[in-house]
Structure 1
Amino acid sequence: MSWTYRRITVAEMKSWLEWLDRLISRPVPFLLPERVGGRIFTHQFGPLEGGSQTDAAKYEYFDAGAMRFHKSPFMKRLTDLVERLGSLTEIPYVFADEHQATFLSYNGISITRKDESLGIDPDPFKVRQALIQPSNQPQTELEWLLVPSSAQRWLTEVALEEPRSLFKKDVPIQEAIRQLFEKYDCYTMRSWLTSRVFPPMTKPLTFPQIAWLRRSTDQVERLTRHSQKSSSVRRYRMTGQVKKLPNGTASSAWLQISRSLRYIPNNESSGGSSQLPLAMEQKIKSEVKKNHSVTLIRENKSTSQSPSSMTVVTNNDSCKEYAAVLCTLPFGCLSAMDLTGCSIMTENYSQWSSIRELKYTPAIKIGMRFKSPWWEERLGIIGGQSFSDLPLRRIAYPSYPKGHSKSNCLIASYCLLTDSLRLSSLVENPKTGTASATLIRLVMRDLAIIHNLDVKDIEEYYDDNGENCFVWDWNQDPFTMGGFAFYGPTQFFHQHQAMMQPAANGKLFFSGEALSSAHGWVVGALESAWNCVSTFLQSHQLKDEDGKLLHDKFLQQWPDLSNILGLKDEFVKLSFGSEKDIDRTAPDVSKCVMS
C-alpha cells in the first residue's frame, strides 16, 4: 500500500503507519521535500557568526506554520498523540499578554491593550466621523464599533448569537448541525452582517463599517470571505460553550509543543511544532521515500491474470503497483497530478470539481532574530500579539522558554489573504525564505510605528547579515500551494461530501485537514487521517491471520474519540452517510502487498 503525499500538515498518516506496518504488508510513504512535517514547519536560526552555541540558542526558532493548539476536548486526538510519543511535552502558549503591554495600531495611532481597556478615549483611532456620521445613525448605536475589543465581543456575542444558539437549545446535536447547514451555510460573514439588523442598531452595517471591522478585528478579516457556517463551527469547537460537552466548558488555555528536557541533546532546538512530526518519523518502521514527487496515479482494471491495482509514478519515472493508495495532498497539489486514469474526471466529476475549486488561504510569516528580546526589555511584553492595519498586520511574541527571559526570535508578521499576497512580492527567494532589503526596511519601519519607537531603537538590536530574517510564503510553496482550506458558502457540505468517498472503485482514498470539520488545525488532519484509515479498513474488510477484522483492532488502539466526548462528528456523518453507504465494491486486498 502506498501513502502518497508531499509537504502536508503533520504528514497526516504517520501516526497510523507504525500500527498498519505490524498488520499488513509494509506501507510506503512518499514525501517530496527532504524535511518531514509539511505545514508544520519550525525554522531554526543558525549559530551566530563568531559565537558559541549556548542554552539560549536552543530557543532561537519560530514556527513558520502551525504554532499552537487550544486546550479543549476537541484537541484530544492531538494531545493523546503527544502523550503516546513520549519524548514531547506541552508548554503554555501565551495568546494574550497578561500585562496588556501589546499594541493595537490603526490609522497611525498606537496604544497598548491596557490603554484600550481603561477606556480613557472612547474613539482611540479617530474613526467616529468616518463611520457614524455618514450613516445617519445615533452615535449610541455604534459606540461599540470604535474600540476593537468591544467590536470583537459584539461579533461573538451578538452577530453570531443566532447560529450559536442552536447548540445551546435542548435539541439533539445532529439536529443542531443539520439546521446550521440548512439555514446559515449560504452566507459569507459579509453577507450575514448586511442581511440583518443586529442590536443595538436600527439599520444594517454599512460597507465602511464592515471594512473597519475587517481591519480592526482579526477574525472578521478572514470571516468576511469565509462561510458564516464555518465561522459558527469554529466558535463551537474552540470555545467549548456547548452545554452537551460532558466535561463542562473547555479551558481557554493555549498550548505549544516542545521536547521534554531529558530528550534535548546539546546544541539542538528545544521545541517548535516540528518536534511532533520528527518524533513521529522515528516511530515509523517503514522507509519514508523523501524527494519523491508522485506525478501520476492510475487505476489498473482487473483481468483474468491479475487483480485490480493502482499504479504510482514518481518524478524519477519510477513506476510501481500497489493495492491501494491513501492520498493526503492539498487539493492544489492534487490538481497538478495526473489523475486521468482514476475515473475521477469522467465517472465522479464532483470530486474533480472539488479538487479544482477549493480555495486555500494565502498565508505568510516573517521571523526575525534579534540580539536580545527588545520588546521584553524595553516594553515588558511577554507573549501575546499586537495587531495593526500596517502591512505586518499581526506580530506574535515568544512565550518560551520557561523563566523570565524569553526567546530573542520574533514573528514580526503573520498575514493572510490580500495582505499576504502583497508582502509576498517582496520575498527575494521564496525557496530559501530570503527577504529582500526592501522587505526588511518595511518590517523595521512598521515595528517602530506599532511600538511607538524610533527605527534606530530597533535597528540597534538587529544584525543585518542575511541570516537573521526568514520569511515563508505558503502560497509560493510548490508543495502546498496555499496555507489551509478556506471554504466559502455551501462548499463544505458539497465538496467535503464528494471527497470523503473513495475513488478508483474503492482503491484511492483522500485525507487532509481540508476533509475535516476542523480544517486549518493540526487536529483536523488527525481527524481526517483517522477517518480515512477507518474507512479503508471497513471498505475492504481486511482481516488478520486469525480471521479477525483489522478495523476492530484499529479501534482498540485508536478509538473513536467522538464516543469519549459524548459527541459524534456529525460533519463527517452528514457528508459521508451511514456505514451502509460505504463503497464495498473494491476487490479484496487482505494481502495488501507491493509489487
Structure 2
Amino acid sequence: MGPPLLDISSPVSIRAQWARQHAIYGIKEEWNKLVRLAHGRRPDDEGLDLPELIEGDTLDEAPLKMIPKDGTAGGDLLAINVGIVGAGAAGLFSALVLEYLNTAQTSVKFTYDILEANMTKRSGGRLYTHNFSQQPHDYYDVGAMRFPKHAVMNRTFSLFTDLGMDFGSLDPNGDWANDPPLGTLIPYYLTNIDPTSGLPQEPWRFNNVNNWGSYSSIATENEDPWAFTADKTIQIDTRLLALKLSPGDIMTALLEPLRQQLRDDIKNQTNTGWQTLMSFDTMTMTQFLSSAWPASLPQPTLPPPRTGDVPLPPYNYDTIQWFETFNGGTNWYDQAFSEIVLESLDFDFPKPGDPDIEWYCILGGAQQLATKMEAKVNALSGNPSKVEYSSQVTALVQVDAMKVNVDINGGESKSAYGGETRSYSCVFNTTALGCLEHMDTTAVLFNSATRQAVRSLGYGPSCKVAIKFTRPWWIHDLPTGTAVKRGGLGHSDLNIRTCVYPSYNIYDPDSVTAVLLCTYTWQQDAERLGSLMGDDETQLRTLLIADLVRLHAPSNATPKQLEDLYLLIDGSYDSHFAWDWYKEPNAAGAFAFFRPFQFSEMWGKMIIPAGDVVVMGEHASPHHAWVVGALESAVHGIAAWCSMTATNNAVYAAAMKDVLDVLTNTDPNNPYVGLPPYMDLNMELWHGCLGAAVRQGMLEDRQEPLGRLTPNDRAGAEKQRAAALLTKLGIEGDFAKA
C-alpha cells in the first residue's frame, strides 16, 4: 500500500488533490507510451519490465537534466514573443503574469499580443456585466457574479487586493453618493433573511403550489408541502419525505460516508476513500442514486441534531427527479458523481470548526475585474490599447520549434479584408474549447486525447435574463411575510427556475428603477428558455412576467391577489436583457461541466503542452466554472511551456530555470506566483518533457509522415524517434543501443 493519496487535513483542497493524481496518471500514461515505443514495444503493452517506466502513484524526478541545479543564466536576454488568444480572465491574467516575470528576473524578456475576437471593445469574456444605463445599480452580471472567500479562492482574492479592490458596504440609507467606489467587494447574500423575524423568507413554487420561508420551515408543517404525491401519479420515496428535510440536506447526508472515508485515509494511512471515489468516476449522479448502496460505504446518518439513518438507494425515477429539481437544473445529474462529491468538499461544507463561508459580489459588476486587469496590462506594457479587438483567430500552425503562425481574421490570404498572419514563439489559447474547435488547428501538435477533449469535454448551457423595473417592487410592494429585502433566491420548477435578488440594490428606495435577475437557468432549462431569445422577444417577456407572478404569489392566492400582483409587476416593467451563452460565438457554452470519465481520462492529458500551443482557461483547471480556475491554468500553462523550452539547449535551460524559480515562489499575497495546488515543479518538468516529445515527434512526422510507411518501417521509425528524444533528455538505456 502506497502513501495516502488524499489528505483532508491538507491546506490543498480535495478537488486539487484529486486533480493532482489525475495529472500524475496523465503523465504516467503518456511517458510510458514513449518508453515502450523507444524499446520497440506497442504503446499499450502493459508489461512493467522496462527500467524507464513510471510505476505506482508517485513520480520520480523528471528527466530534464539540462535544468541547472543552481546558478543563473548569463549573457543577453532571451526574447520570447507570446500570442495570447482571448482577453477573458485567463488571457488578461496570463499577460499580467508575463509582466511580473519581466520585473522579477533578468534572463528572459517576454513580449506579447492579446488577440480578442469581440468587436465591441469589451474584455473579460465570461466576466460580462450588462449596464442598462450609467445610473448606479442599473446593471446585472451576465456571467460570473459571486465569489466565496474560501481557501480555494485565495488567488482570486489576492488579485482583488493587487488591483486595489477593497472590501466595503453599501450605504444603508440608500444614498448612492455614500456608496464605496466601483470595484469594491460588497457582501453577497445567498439567502433572504426577514429583518423582523430573523428567519429565511424566500418564495418556493413547485407543482403549482406556493410556499414562503425556508425548505425546512415549510416542510415542518407538511412532509409533502408541494403535493407531489397527492394524485398518486408520482411516487417519491415516502421514507425521504417523512424526514421533513430538504433534498439538499438529504444529499449532504448521503455524500457524507464517502467524504468521511476520504478524511479517514490520512488517519489510517490507507487509500480506501480514493479508490472508492475512483470506482464511481464512471457513473453519473443519476446512476449512483438508482443503484444499490455500495458495500464499501457505511450507512449514512441524518445530520445533527437528528439521529437515525438515511433511507438508502436505489431510488426510483421520481425520487431522483425530486432531488435534481430542488438541487440543480434539469439534467444536472448527468454530470459525473465524482464532480458533485468534490464540489461539496470544496465549496459547500467548511471543515468542522470553520466559520461559515462569506460570499461577495463586485459593486458595478464582475466585469470591473476585467476592466481593472486590462487597465493594469495597459499601464505595465506602456500601450493604452494593448488588447487588439476585432481580431478573431481563425487558424494556428506549428511551423517549427518555437514558431507558431497565427491567422487573424482569415490570415494573409484575406488581407484585403483585414486578415493577417503573425508568428510567435508560443501561443496561449485561453478561449473556451468551443471557440478553439472553431479554429483550424490541423497543423497544431495536439495529440488525439487533446483533440478528443476539445470536441467532447462537457460544457453546460446557461441563460440569464434580467428585467429593469421602474421600482424595486419585491422589496417595497409585496405583502408582509413575502417581501424580499436582502438578496437571496426564488426557487421554482417554472420556466424561470431560479430568480436571483441582487445584493447591490437592497437599500434602494421605492422611487428609483431597479434590476432583477429574474431567471438563471442551466442545462435543459437554459436550452428551452434560450429558444425564445432573438430579435423578437415578445413571447419571452410575456412568459417572464407570468412566471414572476406565479413565483411571488402568496399561498392559496385569490384571483384578485393574482390580478393585483400581475398589474404591479407588468406595470413596473421597463426593459429586459437576455443572454444565452451557447448562442455567443465567442464562448459557445457557459462553463465546463465534466461528465463520467472526463476528469480521469481526458483532463490530465489536455493540460500537457501541445508543442508551443498551450491550452488555458477554467476548463484546464479542476476548479472549472470559477475565475480561480482560469487564473490557475495561466500559471500552470506558463510553467509547463517554460519547462518544455528548457529542453532546447543549455542556454534556454538556464534562462527558464530563472523563470521557474520566480513562478514557484510561494507568496499567498502575490497572485502571479505559486504553482496551482494540483501541480509542483517536478510535475511541470515532466510536462515539459512530454511537451517536447509531442513537438519533436509531430515535426518529424511532417518531414516523413509515419502514415506513408509500411507497418514494419513505421514501427522502426517510431522506435528511433522515441529513443532519440529519451537520449536528448539524458536517459541512458538499452533502447539507445539499437
Structure 1 length as normaliser, TM-score? 0.82
Q: 1:278 aligns with which of 371, 378, 381?
A: 371
- Whether 1:121 and 2:216 are equivalent positions in the alignment is no
Partner of 1:54: none
Partner of 1:569: 677
Partner Cα distance (1:536, 1:225) in 2: 34
Q: Give the match's secondary structure for 2:184.
A: strand
State the 1:90 CA deviation.
1.6
Q: 2:184 aligns with which of 70, 89, 110?
A: 89
Quick one: which amino acid aligns to residue 201 of structure 1? P
Partner of 1:2: 82
Partner Cα distance (1:239, 1:181) in 2: 18
State the 1:493 CA deviation.
1.6
Partner of 2:567: 456
Partner of 1:46: 133
Q: Give the match's secondary structure for 1:59.
A: coil
Partner Cα distance (1:251, 1:141) in 2: 27
Quick one: which amino acid aligns to residue 85 of structure 2? Y
State the 1:561 CA deviation.
9.1
Q: 2:529 aligns with which of 403, 423, 443?
A: 423
State the 1:237 CA deviation.
1.0
Partner of 1:319: 421
State the 1:41 CA deviation.
0.4
Partner Cα distance (2:392, 2:656) in 1: 36
State the 1:581 CA deviation.
4.8
Q: Give the match's secondary structure for 1:25.
A: strand
Partner of 1:166: 261
Moved more, 394-403 or 355-364: 394-403
The CA deviation string for residues 269-321 of structure 1, in whole angstroms up to 9 with x for no partner, is xx11000010000111442111101111111136xxxxx51111110321111
Quick one: which amino acid aligns to residue 533 of structure 2? V
Q: 2:603 aligns with which of 496, 503, 519?
A: 496
Partner of 2:157: 79
Partner Cα distance (1:174, 1:524) in 2: 29
Partner Cα distance (2:147, 2:270) in 1: 26
Partner of 1:62: 140
Q: Give the match's secondary structure for 1:582.
A: helix
For 1:124-523, what aligned pairs fall within 5 Å after superposition? 124-129=225-230, 134=235, 139-144=238-243, 150-158=246-254, 160-171=255-266, 175=271, 178-179=274-275, 181-197=277-293, 199-201=309-311, 204-215=314-325, 217-219=326-328, 221=330, 223-242=332-351, 249=354, 251-258=356-363, 271-285=364-378, 286=381, 287-301=386-400, 308-315=402-409, 316-344=418-446, 348-379=447-478, 380-381=483-484, 382-401=486-505, 403=507, 405=509, 408-429=514-535, 436-452=537-553, 453=562, 454-463=565-574, 468-504=575-611, 507-523=612-628
Moved more, 104-113 or 118-127: 118-127
Partner of 1:107: 207
Contact 2:350 2:357 (8 Å CA) reproduced:
no
Partner Cα distance (2:234, 2:566) in 1: 36
- Whether 1:528 and 2:633 are equivalent positions in the alignment is yes
Q: Give the match's secondary structure for 2:289.
A: helix
Contact 1:6 1:479 (8 Å CA) reproduced:
no
Quick one: which amino acid aligns to residue 309 of structure 1? K
Partner of 2:664: 555
Partner Cα distance (2:632, 2:231) in 1: 45
Contact 1:85 1:279 (8 Å CA) reproduced:
yes
Contact 1:105 1:389 (8 Å CA) reproduced:
yes
* Distance of aligned partners of 1:335 and 1:121 in 2 relative to their CA distance in 1, 3 Å threshold: same
Partner of 2:734: none
State the 1:73 CA deviation.
0.6
State the 1:142 CA deviation.
3.7
Partner Cα distance (1:568, 1:16) in 2: 14
Partner Cα distance (2:129, 2:566) in 1: 28
Contact 2:642 2:656 (8 Å CA) reproduced:
no
Q: Give the match's secondary structure for 2:311.
A: coil
* Distance of aligned partners of 1:330 and 1:154 in 2 relative to their CA distance in 1, 3 Å threshold: same
Contact 2:463 2:581 (8 Å CA) reproduced:
yes
Contact 1:142 1:201 (8 Å CA) reproduced:
no
State the 1:110 CA deviation.
1.4
Contact 1:103 1:111 (8 Å CA) reproduced:
yes
State the 1:13 CA deviation.
2.4
Partner Cα distance (2:439, 2:656) in 1: 37
Contact 1:72 1:250 (8 Å CA) reproduced:
no
Partner Cα distance (1:201, 1:398) in 2: 37
Contact 2:645 2:652 (8 Å CA) reproduced:
no
Partner Cα distance (2:668, 2:357) in 1: 26
Partner Cα distance (2:87, 2:227) in 1: 45
Partner of 2:39: none
The CA deviation string for residues 457-491 of structure 1, in whole angstroms up to 9 with x for no partner, is 2112113xxxx200010010001101000110110
Q: 1:16 aligns with which of 73, 86, 97?
A: 97
The CA deviation string for residues 318-340 of structure 1, in whole angstroms up to 9 with x for no partner, is 11111111111211111111111
Moved more, 451-460 or 273-282: 451-460
State the 1:2 CA deviation.
2.9
Q: Give the match's secondary structure for 1:153.
A: helix
Partner Cα distance (2:656, 2:592) in 1: 40
Partner Cα distance (2:316, 2:592) in 1: 29
Partner Cα distance (1:573, 1:557) in 2: 11
Contact 2:461 2:582 (8 Å CA) reproduced:
yes
Quick one: which amino acid aligns to residue 231 of structure 1? I
Partner Cα distance (2:89, 2:187) in 1: 21
Partner Cα distance (2:444, 2:113) in 1: 20
Contact 2:203 2:213 (8 Å CA) reproduced:
yes
Partner of 2:303: none
* Distance of aligned partners of 1:19 and 1:402 in 2 relative to their CA distance in 1, 3 Å threshold: farther
* Distance of aligned partners of 1:360 and 1:547 in 2 relative to their CA distance in 1, 3 Å threshold: closer
Structure 2 length as normaliser, TM-score? 0.67
Q: Give the match's secondary structure for 2:225.
A: coil
Quick one: which amino acid aligns to residue 27 of structure 1? Y
What 5-or-longer segments of structure 2 have no aligned partner? 1-80, 166-182, 195-199, 294-299, 301-308, 410-417, 554-561, 697-738
* Distance of aligned partners of 1:337 and 1:311 in 2 relative to their CA distance in 1, 3 Å threshold: same
* Distance of aligned partners of 1:129 and 1:110 in 2 relative to their CA distance in 1, 3 Å threshold: closer
Partner Cα distance (2:217, 2:266) in 1: 38
State the 1:4 CA deviation.
3.5
Moved more, 385-394 or 374-383: 374-383
Contact 1:93 1:254 (8 Å CA) reproduced:
yes
The CA deviation string for residues 337-371 of structure 1, in whole angstroms up to 9 with x for no partner, is 11111132xxx111111111112111000011111
* Distance of aligned partners of 1:134 and 1:121 in 2 relative to their CA distance in 1, 3 Å threshold: closer
State the 1:544 CA deviation.
11
State the 1:201 CA deviation.
2.6
Quick one: which amino acid aligns to residue 96 of structure 2? S
